[in-house]
Amino acid sequence: MNLVINTLDELLAHAHELEREAVERYEDLAGQMEVHNQPELAELFHKMAAIEQQHVVKVESLAGSQPRPLAPWDYQWQTPESPESVPVGQGHYRMNPHQALTLVLACEERAEAFFAELAESTSDPAVREMAVQFAAEEKQHAELLKEWLARYPEPKADWWQDLDDPIAQE
């Protein structure tokens, strides 16, 4: 599916949904980490959610109101989900901050790629200008995340190992 966005309304709708879903997914992950006794990662994902929430607000202020939502399947994501969300199936109950930040970094990079591609493909100069700006912001976040990432060691080879079996629940 080719990316065709030629109005600011459409761009803002996409940007809004992208940030909103990122918030949702980070909150989901924060909850998962709380349930799995990873308070440090829970805090990290809450923090990411809060940052993305600021972006939601920013997009709303740019749009002047909450943009008109599209049907979930009408957004022109070039990925299975909106690009700034950690994809379903990612994450692990034993992951460490390095791995978590790697997931987050990938989100920022996908978002940057999305806006960059949008800027390239659009025929509308105003859309291009705003998309370029969004791409630059995402790139900036990505750079910041790379710095954070460098502070955390990579996981050990056996990071996923758990001496206990899973627990039967029902």
* Smallest distance from another protein to CB 129, Å: 25
Q: Is 161 in the site for another protein (CB under 8 A)?
A: no
Taking residues 28 to 47 in sequence order and writing x for each that binds another protein by CB under 8 A, - otherwise, the string is xx-xxxxxx-----------
Query: Tokens representing 79?
Result: 């990925």
Question: b/e map of 78-89 (b: 16 or more CB within 10 Å)?
Answer: eeebbbbbbbee
Residue (of 61, 79, 81) closest to 16 by Cα position:
61
For another protein, the binding residue among 20, 55, 110, 128 (CB under 8 A) is 20
Cβ pair 16, 56 in contact under 8 A: yes
For another protein, the binding residue among 71, 151, 153, 157 (CB under 8 A) is 71
Within residues 87-146, the interface with another protein by CB under 8 A covers: 87-93, 95
Interface positions with another protein (CB under 8 A): 20, 24-25, 28-29, 31-36, 65-66, 68-73, 75, 77, 80-81, 87-93, 95, 165-170
